[in-house]
Amino acid sequence: MVHKKCLVLIGTLDTKGEEIGYLKELILKRGHRPFIIDIGAGGKARLEADITATEVARAAGTEIEKLWDSRERQKVTEGMIKGAVAKLAALCRTGEVEGMISIGGMTSTVMASSIMREIPYSIPKLIVSSAASMPGSNRFFGPTGITMMHSLVDVGGLNSLLKAQLSRAAGAICGMVKDEISQPSLGEHKPMVAMSVYGYVENCARYINEALTGKYELIRFHATGMPEITMEKLIEEDFFSGIIDLVPSSITNEKFSGSRISWKRRLEVAGEKGIPQVVAPAGVNTISRVGFTAEELAPELKIRKHYFMEELRVTVWLNT
């Protein structure tokens, strides 16, 4: 029996039509209803879509021909992202979407992750990408529960290895949507409290956990950048009854060229929603650089008296 809800496939049908068509059939065989959104703006689609690139462009307030003719890559991608978010958000509001998946290379992955970041956490999301192993690929994960899967080979023509990966991807996303979750069911037994943590506040975090055990469910977010944004996004979605922000250091990390990213609305959402929030200044005087050893950063560290290697390739220095 085919599910009534749809499993959304996001992709560029002008370049990845064959691969998306193959994934569509794999999903159908598993009893799910595929729904294709075309975000390709480079030429004629090679597969029929449920929402065409023309419709996506119009949802962004433009025409697909204008995007084709502009030859401005950034303008094209931004327009298709905007239109796809509008179309997908409207579809999600109907309650018909059970999950979503995307396959492609760098451009498709950037677009798909930008679109998926705007969709609530409760909907499973999977991106299969040849760019999953690149430096900086952590930015694709987003704060709303996106799972990344490496395609192993280029997504540019079906072959035995790619077919195997797509079969695994179909199995993965179909497995994810079997265990549907909702915001109320997550915290139906105890109110949930979010807390940002890092290694140097572990003792404090343990004391807080002991104090709250029995009355609240404590949800910890490792303060490495994206998890903090995830925390803020879930605050927006009303998951938490309280916030204990021990380590807001991504704000200063981003400001002073550290490796942790932040968000323009960091520390603002709980206040806007009237949710109790405690903020501590742990780590705001530290800057982390990931992917470098102290030796590689030697010229920069010469002017900094206090630094330490936290992990093999994570250097932290004091900014005061």
Domain closes at, from 146, 178, 210: 178
Residue 218 · residue 209 · CB < 8 Å? yes
Residue 187 DSSP label: T
The pLDDT of residue 190 = 87
In this structure, are 214 and 149 located in the same domain? no
Please check whether residue 305 lies inside any domain of the structure: no
Residues of the chain with confidence (pLDDT) below 50: 1, 184, 301-303, 305, 307-315, 317
- Locate tokens 């991807």: which residue? 169
Residue ranges in the chain assigned as alpha helix (H): 13-29, 53-59, 64-70, 73-93, 106-116, 160-178, 183-186, 202-212, 226-236, 250-255, 269-273, 298-301
How far apart CA 287 and CA 315 sit, in angstroms, is: 8
The pLDDT of residue 290 = 58
Please check whether residue 303 lies inside any domain of the structure: no
CA 111 to chain centre: 11
The pLDDT of residue 311 = 44
Domains contained in the chain, number: 2
The domain in which residue 156 lies consists of: 6-178
Please check whether residue 81 lies inside any domain of the structure: yes
In this structure, are 33 and 92 located in the same domain? yes
CATH number at residue 25: 3.40.50.12020
Please check whether residue 264 lies inside any domain of the structure: yes
The pLDDT of residue 308 = 46
Please check whether residue 238 lies inside any domain of the structure: yes
The pLDDT of residue 99 = 96
The pLDDT of residue 313 = 43
* pLDDT tens, residue by residue, 71-121: 788 889 999 999 999 999 999 999 999 999 999 988 899 999 999 999 988
| Residue 211 CB burial class (10 angstroms; 0-12, 13-18, ≥19) | exposed
Please check whether residue 315 lies inside any domain of the structure: no
